[in-house]
Structure 1
Amino acid sequence: MIELGKYNTLTVLRDTRVGLFLGSNTEAEVLLPTKYVPQDFEIGDTLEVFCYLDHEERPVATTLQPAVTRDNFGALKVLEVNEYGAFMDWGLEKNLLVPYREQPVQMKAGEVHVVYCYLDPKSSRLVGSARLDRFLDNTSISVTAGQQVSLLVFKETPLGYGVVVENRHTGLLFRDQVHQKIRPGDTLTGYVKAIRPDQKLDIVLEPIGFRKLEPAAQRIYEALEAAGGKLALHDKSDPREIQDALKMSKKVFKKGIGILYRERKIEIQPDGICLPGQKISD
């Protein structure tokens, strides 16, 4: 069976002037147009291709990789709006249609929206929907508190940001927990802070239990990592040397390495500082 909207591993059946005909073990066939045919192939080889309907509503295969696949969420840009709806750029020759009925807010050309791609049972066509609540399910939570999860930001709210969690659930990233610029369409890694009694998910961007370092300590630690784990700077170093290397005063530097030492993130040696287990002289 050839599945529209998904990647299929198919066998090369025959070579024609219009391209390769590929098939599955159910005897279904689909055309891979000439422009997508690999340079080297033999009859009987298997190819991984994405299958969808072309402009004439015929199943066709491509080696292009769409920005979203069937039964998944993705952020897409609106290329055109006409009487049928909004046509989104998903990286294929034929754009993905989001009908007006699937737009909670009317889309405009140039905008980016998070949509869900699905196979419409009535038309058997792949379409997109921005009515995400229909496809997000929090009745049976598959994640646990503290778990690292994939996030897709889909809207901004007065409280923060609505996020798709693990391509399945909806969660909320509270504004006061965000210390970076984010916007709808961004993909992030986050953590489940809490699962509420009503099955709502509270999400944060830092691992649970992680205490953010004071800015100077964080800068020193990042400089250490960038330098391979060793810095020939210490509390006897010339202030100008510290300023040139880290853009901070010696007083701030000493405070920062004190924090890192207490957190057991560094070792202080006579000739500098280093990550645990390393030596400046190595």
Structure 2
Amino acid sequence: MEFNGQFVTGKVSDKNDDTVFVQYAGITMPVAASEFDAKLPAVGADVTGFAYEDEHHHPRMTTKKPKISESQYAYCEVVATRRELGVFVDAGLPDKDIAVSLDQLPLETYLWPQRGDQLMVKLSIDKKDRMWAVIADGSIISQLSRRARADMLNQDVTATVYRNKIVGTFVFTEAHQLGFIHPSERDVEPRLGQVVHGRVIGVRDDGGLNISLKPRAFEAIDDDAGMVLAVLEHSRDGKLTLTDKSSPDDIKKMLDISKGAFKRAVGHLLKARKITLHDGYIELVDKQD
């Protein structure tokens, strides 16, 4: 269909309670009757809409504007993956998802977007009049970005991965700031299109953010450390009369954990600067009055 992916104005050739049939350039396209707010247009009336081929390659029209066009980028949700072709995104077209070619995706398939991920894409029509979704490159993302504030250090941010490189992961935050995640600041490399939650560890001179996906020290404590911390927080004076020199029996009796587990818990809490060690006891750093 030569006008696949274009807005055209055709004439109503027929209609019923469910469908309005619009003809353009000798091709008849069904439009869902539910798309018309008031009464259905009369036979012979003009109807303007977006013409496309649905997933069965049948001509179709919608009066609703798709999320993307050949000049407009938008986030579209990934709805399916086909290893031999690429991934498919929902651009808001009834009965039609648009493919993102595999040559736009990482070589490593484990970094491909998964269902529910988000890709910043625009519409493209190839020489065979087929619709494709094209991923925004770094220059486009930069044009859409805004400078980060200097006071954002240590703030939590939510961002979407738009590029995977050996040097690190490039992301675009919800507030439209550029971000970078160094490999040392992540445990697992995020996928293209994956939404990640991190914290700002640096605001660069160019207005971009350095982001870490690793938890803050106090967030990284394990269950035993959390239990010791809870005991301290609920004690009257924020103290616990145990140390790494306490006997295994005393530790087991008071906390019901082994001495090894207790020492690891104390080490985590010291690293997180939640406690201090004293002769014969440990003490909570920030005690509530």
**TM-score, normalization: structure 2?**
0.50
Instruction: Quickly say closer, same or farther: Cα 1:117–1:154, change in 2 above 3 A.
Output: closer
| CA 21–252 in structure 1, closer or farther in 2 if over 3 Å, else same | closer
Q: CA RMSD in A?
A: 5.4
Where structure 1 has 5 or more consecutive residues not aligned to the other structure, the ranges are 5-14, 31-50, 62-68
Alignment of 1:1-282 (within 5 A): 16-17=17-18, 21-23=34-36, 55=54, 56-59=59-62, 71-72=74-75, 74=77, 77-79=80-82, 81=84, 86=86, 88=88, 90=90, 93-98=95-100, 103-104=103-104, 112-113=112-113, 115-120=119-124, 127-137=132-142, 141-145=146-150, 146=153, 147-166=155-174, 168-178=176-186, 180-185=187-192, 186-205=194-213, 212-213=217-218, 219-220=223-224, 222-223=226-227, 234-235=240-241, 238-241=250-253, 244-245=256-257, 248-254=260-266, 259-262=273-276, 277=288
Once residues 95 and 36 of structure 2 are traced to their aligned partners in structure 1, the CA distance between those partners, rounded to angstroms, is 22
Query: 1:119-138 CA distances to partner (integer Å, 9 max, x unpaired)?
Result: 45999997422343243026
- Distance in structure 2 (CA, Å) of the matches to 1:70 and 1:196: 26
What amino acid maps onto 1:16 in structure 2? D
- Work out the number of aligned pairs and report it: 218
1:99-132 C-alpha deviation (Å, 9 max, x unpaired): 58xx445889997246323345999997422343
- Higher helix proportion (structure 1 or 2): 2
Q: What is the deviation of 1:191?
A: 3.3
- Is the CA contact (8 Å cut-off) linking 2:111 and 2:191 kept in structure 1? no
Structure 1 residue 254: Cα displacement? 5.0
Q: Which has the larger radius of gyration?
A: 2
Q: 5+ unaligned residues in a row in structure 2: which ranges?
A: 6-15, 20-31, 42-49, 65-71, 243-248
What percentage of aligned pairs have identical amino acids?
13
Output the CA distance in 2 between the equivalents of 1:162 and 1:175. Answer: 11
Please tell me the residue identity of whatever aligns with 1:59.
Answer: T
Aligned 8 A contact 2:146 2:176 in 1: no
Per-residue deviation, 1:167: 7.0
Shift of 1:71: 1.0
Question: What is the Cα deviation at residue 173 of structure 1?
Answer: 0.6
Inter-partner Cα distance in structure 2 for 1:141 and 1:57? 39
8 Å CA contact retained: 1:149, 1:192: yes
TM-score (normalised: structure 1): 0.51
8 Å Cα contact 1:78-1:107 kept in structure 2: no
Distance change (3 Å), C-alpha of 1:59 and 1:174:
same
